Amino acid sequence: METNDPPPKPKFTHGQDAGKVALALWLVVSPWMLNYSDARLAVWNGFAVAIVVAAFSIAAILKFTKWEEAINIIAGFWLIASPWVLGYAALLGNTRTLPVTANHLGVGLAIIILSLWELNIWEQATQPRPKA
């Protein structure tokens, strides 16, 4: 009897989830490490993304589903776009907002890469193997 449940997540992909949890923790502490803690909108945006990424990455460690990675990919794209959408992007000549913008761009990109990498590993591990 077949079920629609996804196959168990390969154990070797937990490293990507742990990396995303570490990136979420970085988003929480980076305003003080990079000296932009007074930029409230950017700080709260980072906190919100950190909560989403950490929650779905921990959930993926417990029981993997593709949509958890999709949520993290969306969160990564939001983190990349948010400096311009919310208006705290580094503008020409404004070095004060450069650390937060660069941080959100880099972390967002890393979240996307780790999520896509994890999806790729999962897809490869669940593909039927050709019979010899």
Q: What is the mean pLDDT of the chain?
A: 85
For the chain, list residues with pLDDT below 50. Answer: 1, 92
pLDDT tens profile 63-91: 877 888 899 999 999 999 999 999 888 66
Helix (H) or strand (E) holding 67: helix 66-85
Residue 126: per-residue pLDDT:
72
Angle at 7 between CA 114 and CA 72, to 5 degrees: 25
Residue found under tokens 């969160």: 75
pTM above 0.85, yes or no: no
